[in-house]
Structure formats: C-alpha cells, structure tokens
Amino acid sequence: MDLYSFLIQLLNGIQYGLLLFLVASGLTLIFGIMGIINLAHGSFYMVGAYMAFSLAALTGSLFVAVVLGSVLCVLLGIALEWALFSRLYQRDHLEQVLLTYGLILVFEELRSLIVGNDVHSVAVPDLFNWSIPLTDTLSYPVYRLFMSAVCIVLAVLLYLLIARTRLGMMIRAGASNREMVQALGINIKLVYRLVFALGVALAAFAGMIAAPVSSVYPGMGTGVLIICFVVVVIGGIGSIWGALFASLLIGLADTFGQVLLPEAAGVIVYVLMAVILLWRPEGLFRRV
C-alpha cells in the first residue's frame, strides 16, 4: 500500500467513523439521558436516506431535500416521543426492546409499501461532484470531504450545545437526577422530547448525507444500528467522547480491514469489541 492509497483509506475511515458518530451519539444520548434502549434508531438512519432519495427526486435538489427532511425528522421524533417513547421511561428494558423491535418492523414495511424494495442511487450535488487528483490514477471525491466537514461541524455544535448552553445544562442535570431537576421547576418532559428529536434528527441527517455515497437500500438501518451498538459498547454508554473515539476507531478498523483482510472484514469490528470487553467491560470512557 503506497502513501496515496493509504491516505485515501485513512480519509474514508475517518469519514465513515464521523458518520457513525452522528448515529451513535443520538443512541448514546437517548440511553444516557432517558434510560431507553432504542433498537429503532437505525430505522431513523434508513428513513433519512429514503427521505433524501424521495425529496431530492421531488424537489430536484439534495440541499433542499436535506433541509426539508431534517425538519420532517424533528417532527417525527417529537411525534414518536409523544406517542410511544414517553410511555417507556418507567418500563424495564425488555419492554423497550420489544416495542422498538415492533417499530423497526413497522418502519421497514412502510418503506417497502411506499418506496418499494429496490436499491436506489442518489446523485451527488453538482457543486461537490468533482475529485481532487492525487496521482495520475488516484483521486479523492470532494463530496466525501464535504461529508466529513459537515460531521465535524455538527459534532462541535453538539459539544457546544451540551457543554455550554442552558439547555445543555438541563440535559446533563436531567441525566443525573430527573426528580431533582423537576423539583427545580424545569419541564423535564420537554427536555426529553427535545433530546429524543435531536437524536432522531442526527441519525436521519447521517442517512441523508450518506445517501449519495452508499445509495439507499432495504435493511440499511439494521447494519448501522448494530455497528452503533458496537460503538456504544466500546465507548461506554452515555459518553459522547466515548462515542466519538469509538466511532473513529470502528470506522478506521472497518475500512482498513476491508483492504488488508477482506476475508475477515465482516468480523473485525466484533473481534475489536470482544477485546475491549475482556479488557474494560465498562467501555473505554466511563460516563461523564
């Protein structure tokens, strides 16, 4: 592997890792703050990707589709939290698992009813539809760089939101003591609803910007969900930093695994998880 192919794989790995972070951060936030295990989180990624496909076809522009889709997904998140998830907070994990499992089946079938079971590709916007030449034969698509940049911006915004704003303070307080926060006169239900909608929107947004690279296909949510579980287990539940670190680790391990050990590529991330479990069963980053 020469320097340029190494560089390409490195960038791909980072880009994949950052994308995973967007999905996994929502998963870990929803668990860390509301104590809910959400199996349907991957479905939001799938919903996002299909929204990008349908809305881009409808409006003719991926940017419009992403903006519109994000708004719709925030609304979807609020509606789901109101109708279903708000009833799950005091329930045990087994019921949460079952309900969200049912939700996956519903989302997959609705997807099949509305869009069908075909694989669709989504066009890269013209603005980013070019590549940076590295050597005579190798080049790097600008859209992937753009994706990474957007993910980094979102990660920074997420950090600022949680660490530096009043809302973030409420979120952190709500994670450690729900009753106390309520007693202080903060509407914790509203905070939960916002966090849930934020998680849904992050996952869906990841699906939307990934659609031109990965295309949209049935079952795409499940794959991402399970990898995100691996990310959360490695990073430590409830830890945003852990999710970021583990996402990049998994992104790089998976990307380089596919190049260097194609036979074992599907298994590498799980082996990594097994090693971390042996070494630190609580995950690399304890909850902050």
| Residues at the interface with another protein (CB under 8 A) | 31, 37, 84, 87, 91-95, 97-99, 101-106, 108-110, 112-113, 222, 226, 229-230, 232-233, 237, 263, 265-267, 270-271, 273-274, 277-278, 281
Nearer CB in complex with another protein: 103/198:
103
CB of 90 to another protein, least distance (A): 9
Nearer CB in complex with another protein: 6/241:
241
HSE toward the beta carbon, residue 24, CA cutoff 13 A: 35
Backbone angles phi, psi at 225, to 5 degrees: -55, -45
Nearer CB in complex with another protein: 143/245:
245
The first and second tokens of residue 200, run together, are: 């849904």
CB of 230 to another protein, least distance (A): 5
CB of 270 to another protein, least distance (A): 4
CB of 14 to another protein, least distance (A): 22
The first and second tokens of residue 97, run together, are: 């698992």
CB of 143 to another protein, least distance (A): 28
HSE toward the beta carbon, residue 184, CA cutoff 13 A: 11
Nearer CB in complex with another protein: 24/211:
24
Distance of alpha carbon 187 from alpha carbon 209, whole angstroms:
33
Distance of alpha carbon 86 from alpha carbon 91, whole angstroms:
10
For the chain, the C-alpha Rg in angstroms (whole number) is 19
Nearer CB in complex with another protein: 93/164:
93
CB atoms within 10 A of CB 187: 11
Q: Which of 273, 242, 280, 288 is nearest to 33 (CA)?
A: 288
